[in-house]
Chains A and B, each alone.
Chain A
Amino acid sequence: MKRYIVNSRAACYAAILIVLLVLPQFITPYHVTLMETGLSLAIMALGVNLLLRYTGVLSFGHGAYFAAGAYAVGLLYMYLPDHFTFENAILAALLVSAAISALFGLVCVRHTRVFFSILTLALCMLLFAVLEKAYHYTGGSDGIRIPIPLFFGHEFEGMRRFQFLCGPYYYIVVGIFAAASLVMLAIVNSPFGKILQATRDNELRAEMIGIRVKRYRLYAFIISGIFSGLSGGVWSFVNGHITPEICNWVFSGEVVYMVLLGGFMIFEGPIVGAVAFTYLRLYAVATTQYWMLIIGATLIFLVLALPGGITGGIQSLFNRLKPKRA
């Protein structure tokens, strides 16, 4: 029975991957780039949910690690243009976000609940100020342009930016997204993941079975930061331009919104949330200049009527339709 469930889950994932891979044949190029945005943000949403769902702390400052990843790419281009390849850029994004999240994490994991959230937010805004004010080093509020990179020595010569995004880059994003999701799935089901959940449920007891709670929380924080950095690195090429805005608390809040929209109780929720949010924002912006109102109203609706988010709603619908076992 269990094997059957595992296999049906694997089959589901394989089906989704196939759909993602053939999707560009059926949607407009513009929507392909939107999917890229959604999928790269999904990597970050998974990272944020490692903290929210599995560690029990809510970060309002993950824009900092997203920005760390994106700026690692941007600064690599600015200062070491000869080494500006896709693989170097992603490696830089991973390393820089790991370093920054380790540094900020040391401060944040000493606390939980609202104190943790406030600390993450404060540190995020600190980095925002640095990125914005250090004009000569970071381009300030003008940001940094991100060109098409070399990819393992391969040059996309003569390819225009839009063609690059709609063609090869889409498959790169899908590949990285799929790998990141599987890594995160492995982490939450591993002994480490179970111990994290134990520290979430009962810090005192976790300590009394020999767990160094703060250290585990720090590990989770760094992993979550690295996922955000990867997300920022991948996204920077989609957007083609980065500004300090991605380090603002507004963006950090949007990611929390994505997680809630998709449903934080279910592993796949944040992925659904990130893609859904990307489209929701697009249609809200296209419909009215008061688009923030639509986003806000949706959030209120979510919290009141659908606390489990989209995936939670679908799950309870399934549970209701499923014939009850005696």
Chain B
Amino acid sequence: MLQIQNVQKSFGQFMVISDVSFSVEKNEVVALLGPNGAGKTTMVNLISGHLRPDAGKILLDDRDITTAPAHVRIALGIARNFQITQLFEELSVLDNVRNCIFSTEGRSGRFFKPANAYDGEKTEAMNILETFNLAQFALEPAAGLSEGDKKILDTAMAFALKAKFLLLDEPTSGVATSDKFKVMDTIISAIQKQGTATLIIEHDMDIVAEYTDRVMVLAEGRILADGASSEVMENKEVKETLFGVSD
């Protein structure tokens, strides 16, 4: 479904992604691991269209989207959340999600009829809030949510875009430990229903082990290992890079 071919990206003199190739298939949940500064978020920015690669290709369903602007990629089915939450703070929680639905349905330019009068979109947005346990805050401004709930809303917004390929950048950081598995359960079960392919950046190894089929380790701008999680975790180089231990 998604193919990354020999992608490179540098910021000035600093090479962040030196030569990365991988692919993610339909229904697959892949974890992208790596130490801080390995280039994980840059990878997400390259795939979502926030940044352009210096070299290499990005394909979605065999279509070259390397230079496609963000709105085209979203229309084709790539959605992302943000590691540092990015919400429409002054708008209500409902509007945050509903705007995503208006956008995917091509209704974001509609004048005159009040947003509230679009019953289908409202029900859909409320269902998503229900799924993510945010329905009781629907009419509150997003700015008033707790940090954990903001993070969950951020993910719910990415989810509302009904993507074929979902990029989740640390979806559970900032969420209370007791809620982490609940949030992931919600996301994963929703993803599986839609057959979405997913790339998750995550630091919590318990979550990686529990929810992902495949693990990739990114270090110094290269893919260090790629395979089933049990296999990759036994790799000596990976252990050194991720945990700082050699055995």
Residue of B71, B113, B157 near A212 (CB, 8 A) is B71
**Count of chain A residues near B, Cβ 8 A:** 26
CB-defined interface of A240-273 with B at 8 Å, one 1/0 digit per residue?
A: 0000000000000000000000000000000000
> Which residues on A sit within 8 Å (CB–CB) of B116?
189
* Minimal Cβ-Cβ distance residue in B for A2: B116
Q: Are B88 and A198 in contact (CB under 8 A)?
A: yes
With an 8 A cutoff between CB atoms, is A202 at the interface?
Answer: yes
Q: Are B161 and A190 in contact (CB under 8 A)?
A: no
In the complex, A246→B63 CA distance in Å?
A: 53
- The residues in A between 210 and 258 inclusive whose CB is less than 8 angstroms from any CB of B are 210-212, 216, 219
With an 8 A cutoff between CB atoms, is B214 at the interface?
Answer: no
CB-defined interface of B84-128 with A at 8 Å, one 1/0 digit per residue?
A: 001111110001101110111001111111111010000000000
In the complex, A1→B90 CA distance in Å?
A: 23
Interface secondary structure of A, over-half rule: helix
With an 8 A cutoff between CB atoms, is B75 at the interface?
Answer: yes
Q: Are B91 and A194 in contact (CB under 8 A)?
A: yes
> Which residues on B sit within 8 Å (CB–CB) of A197?
88, 90-91, 95
Residue of B70, B75, B88, B108 near A207 (CB, 8 A) is B70
With an 8 A cutoff between CB atoms, is A284 at the interface?
Answer: no
> Which residues on A sit within 8 Å (CB–CB) of B88?
197-198, 201-202, 205-206
In the complex, A216→B71 CA distance in Å?
A: 13
CB-defined interface of A179-203 with B at 8 Å, one 1/0 digit per residue?
A: 0000100110111111101101110
> Which residues on A sit within 8 Å (CB–CB) of B8?
none
* Minimal Cβ-Cβ distance residue in A for B71: A210
Q: Are A208 and B70 in contact (CB under 8 A)?
A: yes
In the complex, A323→B103 CA distance in Å?
A: 40
Q: Are A210 and B91 in contact (CB under 8 A)?
A: no
Q: Are B86 and A195 in contact (CB under 8 A)?
A: no
* Minimal Cβ-Cβ distance residue in B for A196: B108
Known A207-B70, A210-B161: A191·B108 in contact at CB below 8 Å: yes
**A112 CB, nearest partner CB in chain B, Å:** 16
With an 8 A cutoff between CB atoms, is B48 at the interface?
Answer: yes
* Minimal Cβ-Cβ distance residue in B for A213: B71
Q: Are A189 and B82 in contact (CB under 8 A)?
A: no
Can you list 26 contacts pairing A with B, beta carbon distance less than 8 Å? A186-B111, A189-B114, A190-B110, A190-B112, A191-B108, A191-B115, A192-B110, A193-B115, A194-B99, A195-B109, A197-B88, A197-B90, A197-B91, A198-B96, A201-B87, A205-B82, A205-B86, A207-B71, A208-B50, A208-B86, A209-B74, A209-B100, A209-B161, A210-B71, A211-B103, A211-B108
Q: Which 4 A-B pairs have the closest CB atoms?
A: A210-B74, A205-B86, A201-B88, A210-B103
Known: A189-B116, A205-B82. 18 other contacts (CB 8 A): A186-B111, A186-B113, A190-B115, A191-B108, A192-B109, A195-B99, A198-B99, A201-B91, A204-B50, A207-B71, A208-B74, A208-B79, A209-B99, A209-B103, A210-B74, A210-B103, A212-B71, A219-B109
Residue numbers of B with Cβ under 8 A of A are 48, 50, 70-71, 74-75, 79-80, 82, 86-91, 95-96, 98-100, 102-104, 107-116, 118, 157, 161
